Structure 1
């Protein structure tokens, strides 16, 4: 089994609806996003997947949130823009872009250097 990971980031603000502490107020993060894919089969040039292609696909999805207020952008105008919901959203969207021989193993969303949420499917 091969595993490949890319890391990208975006800067955005959010406020957590219903949160009892100060995070209910508008605040921002540099969100680091790690995308982990895996598979057994290499392509015709012996790659599990092209790093650049995966990063470009992830950035296409993630870039619409860069330097924005997440609470104003669908689906987070309705869903709370928590790290958990961001991770699942990125997972669902990036999964659609992958070839059949590669599967999306996990998305890690870091909202600080010390706090990460992961989403994966069994």
Structure 2
């Protein structure tokens, strides 16, 4: 199995409304996202996927939506409080790193060429804390 990884960065704010400590307060992170795709063999162009194509796909469908956004769970109190915020990314769940990586996987998987799989995602919320997602259904 061959794999390639492209790394992205973005800035975003969030709050975990049901958190019992400081994370319930509005705060931000410098996120780092690793996107790894794989296949058994390179394609006719001798690549799994051109890095530039992978960059464009992830940038347009994920990073542009999240970068410099306020990520919030779509609940009435948030809708009322943050209705006038400029760039809100509304989520069905609390915007934890775990839920974020699951959303990213859901978005990216169907957009990849048929010859490659989304093997894994790693999203760093801080320098020392990350969530790892691995595709067990290749």
Structure 2-normalised TM-score? 0.83
* Structure 1 ranges of 4+ moved more than 3 A: none
For residues 94 and 64 of structure 2, the distance between their equivalents in structure 1, rounded to whole angstroms, comes to 19
DSSP 3-state at the match of 1:57: helix
Gaps of 5+ in 2: 73-87
For residues 111 and 98 of structure 2, the distance between their equivalents in structure 1, rounded to whole angstroms, comes to 21
Larger Rg: 2
Shift of 1:121: 2.8
For residues 89 and 126 of structure 2, the distance between their equivalents in structure 1, rounded to whole angstroms, comes to 21
For residues 114 and 68 of structure 2, the distance between their equivalents in structure 1, rounded to whole angstroms, comes to 33
- Report if aligned partners of 1:91, 1:120 keep a CA contact under 8 Å in 2: no
Q: Which residue of 1 aligns with 2:94?
A: 80
Structure 1-normalised TM-score? 0.93
RMSD (Å), alpha carbons? 1.0
DSSP 3-state at the match of 1:70: strand
- Report if aligned partners of 1:34, 1:109 keep a CA contact under 8 Å in 2: yes
DSSP 3-state at the match of 2:111: coil
